[in-house]
Structure 1
Amino acid sequence: MIRPLLLCFFFCVAFGRSKPTEKKNRMMEALLSNKQHEDDKGFEYDHEAFLGEDEAPEFDKLPLEESLRRLGLIVDRIDVNKDDFISEDELRIWITSVQRNHSFEQMENQWNQYDTDRDGLISWDEYNRTKYSDGSHQESGFDLSRVMEREERLFRAADRDADLKADKQEFNAFLHPENHQHMREVLVQDTMDEIDKNRDGFIDLKEFMDDLNIPEGEEDLPEGAETERQHFLDKKDKNNDGKLDKQETMDWLFKPDLSYSDAEAKHLVTESDADKDGKLTKKEILNNHEMFVGSQVTNYGDALLRHDEF
């Protein structure tokens, strides 16, 4: 199943506009966690961001002493330049890596569902037949033809050897295209096709605001409407021509001012940096292990429990 971010993208296209006050999030980055980021109520969000959504609960089973030992080993892995400090950038790289490993595991869990002939490849026909042939997607009465067209476009973009069969790397790119550089152009084009109502090849301010369900000229605008308008004019429209071309759209979707991984890395450093030098020592991380791993620790779940290095 395509991850929630893209399902939302596809179904918004197929089923029309949402409620007038509902704001779309088009940033092409997966959420680090579905938990609320509220540190005063617990650190579940931070645990899933640092460890991975499926892995985090497993580490509550570890005794405190063992979890601290393993957290120390993780810190050594995160410290790629071996200077005995963990920077925001090193944390961001780690968090991004954890999330991408999680996406690959999600793909692995779905592989046998779609590889029906067990040949080690998933053809477009296999995927399409398995997902849509039972008619369950038609129960709502909506026409999913546009969704299927977009899925096929993504599948073809992921299929780098153009044989209409996906190996695991290609299928992962299809399921999680936001993680793969070569998938960006098709995602950008899909976005432009949806928003560019006058078909001039650009996204103008009116189209941008319409996409956010914020009609221009209304007095009673939703909260944040003027901020969105100014962001379009001041940040997104870099050449100040009043519209977004393909490159500007790509920058908007894939180069946000602060990504989820950036924000979480900054948060972890800010909350754990006792001497306020902008970076973390192993001691500072271990002293704040509740934020990073709770009573647990690490990287990729049960697999690590079996690794000799632990």
Structure 2
Amino acid sequence: MQKSLQNRENMQLLFLGTLALLVGVTVTVPAQEKRVHRQSDLSDHAHDDSHGFQYDHEAFLGKEEAKTFDQLSPEESKERLGKIVDRIDTDKDGFVSHAELHHWIKHRQRRYIEENVDKHWKDYDQNKDGKIAWTEYKNTTYGFYMGKRIKHLNMEFDDVEDKMSYKSMLTRDERRFKSADRDGDGIATREEFTAFLHPEEFDYMKDVVIQETIEDIDKNGDKKINLQEYIGDMYTPEDGENEPEWVATEKKHFTEFRDTNKDGFLDANEVAQWILPGEVDHADNEAKHLIHETDKDNDDKITKKEILANWNMFVGSQATNYGEDLTKRHDEL
């Protein structure tokens, strides 16, 4: 499942990157980098420690998806992790409590969002007035093709081979932008632009999240999701491949739990229950998980020694390049 999900995201990012290259925009990719189809989480990886600690790494260090990092040796990782632990222990009592770890993970989550907005803000605020108008975003993202402005700026994409895809992306961006623009003046403040980039973080954007989810998974255009579409969004079998056990589990979840009215489809209300099941504090859950796995003397708090003994859970493995925070200076965290 994880491989299929990751492949799909890579294809989406490749497509958006191709758009930016073709239209000659001044930014690398459109700000709306990926669709939002699940409740905001701390990582895009599965939380399955039996297959690695990628989820824990991103939860603890923060998601920095656009970069790759050089690997550090275990010794370097432990040394830099120790410096992070000193920062988490805000009362300097020699222990990391649940509250301190929870606060740190929330801090990293907010930092990821702030850095993502910062990264795009300077590209789209063309007149440097501290706001981003829809026209600024539209023209910067879609308004140029091979260095020349598209005819009439009506976004007909006459010279683009797959113009229907580009028109669809523009329509979707405009709808999301208008939803984020709470006062309807066509200009996004920083908070409104944050809601545009990260709608999963804002309650008033939930209808957009639900609608985008249905549009992405609904292949036959009936505005609802059947079982085949539901599974197809997560898994595409390869030639001769046996169906994984988790697929059967997901089919059961669809029929027994997701499809509450038992009509064979997920409508908007059922999708909302699936992807927005209520207030879930992922940072709180992750803090509890890390303490449970690390606290060997069962005193509900962890020492630096206990953390360093489990350094690979927090910051490192050969598969994940250890995480970006370990390549930053101590004062940058």
Give the TM-score, by structure 1 length: 0.66
Q: Which amino acid aligns with 1:68?
A: G
> Residues 261, 242 of structure 1: CA spacing in aligned structure 2 closer, same or farther, 3 A cutoff?
farther
How far apart in 1 are the matches of 2:11 and 2:187? Answer: 22
Q: SS of the counterpart of 2:38?
A: coil
- 1:32 and 2:43 are equivalent in the alignment: yes
Gaps in structure 1 of 5+ consecutive residues: 13-23
> Residues 151, 40 of structure 1: CA spacing in aligned structure 2 closer, same or farther, 3 A cutoff?
closer
Q: Which amino acid aligns with 1:128?
A: K
How far apart in 1 are the matches of 2:232 and 2:84? Answer: 50
- 1:8 and 2:15 are equivalent in the alignment: no
Q: Which moved more, 1:261-270 or 1:227-236?
A: 261-270
Which residue is equivalent to 1:17? Answer: none
> Residues 91, 164 of structure 1: CA spacing in aligned structure 2 closer, same or farther, 3 A cutoff?
same
How far apart in 2 are the matches of 1:274 and 1:251? Answer: 37
How far apart in 1 are the matches of 2:223 and 2:103? Answer: 35
Q: Which moved more, 1:164-173 or 1:234-243?
A: 234-243
Match of 1:275 among 289, 297, 300: 297
Structure-to-structure mapping, 1:161-172, within 5 angstroms: 161-172=183-194
Q: SS of the counterpart of 2:177?
A: helix
Which residue is equivalent to 2:122? Answer: 112
- 1:305 and 2:331 are equivalent in the alignment: yes
| Percent of aligned pairs with the same amino acid | 34
Which residue is equivalent to 2:260? Answer: 238
Q: Which amino acid aligns with 2:331?
A: L
Q: SS of the counterpart of 1:118?
A: coil
Q: SS of the counterpart of 1:154?
A: helix
C-alpha deviation, 1:261, in angstroms: 5.5
- Deviation digits for residues 248-294 of structure 1 (CA, Å, limit 9, x no counterpart): 201212349x99767754652343121356x4333533554564357
CA contact (8 A) 1:196 1:203 kept: yes
Match of 2:109 among 99, 105, 108: 99
Match of 1:149 among 162, 171, 175: 171
Higher RCO (C-alpha 8 Å, min separation 6): 1
Gaps in structure 2 of 5+ consecutive residues: 1-7, 17-34, 151-156, 317-321
Structure-to-structure mapping, 1:170-185, within 5 angstroms: 170-185=192-207
Give the TM-score, by structure 2 length: 0.62
**Aligned residue pair count:** 280
How far apart in 2 are the matches of 1:27 and 1:63? Answer: 32
CA contact (8 A) 2:36 2:199 kept: no
CA contact (8 A) 1:68 1:297 kept: no
How far apart in 2 are the matches of 1:35 and 1:195? Answer: 20
> Residues 263, 132 of structure 1: CA spacing in aligned structure 2 closer, same or farther, 3 A cutoff?
same
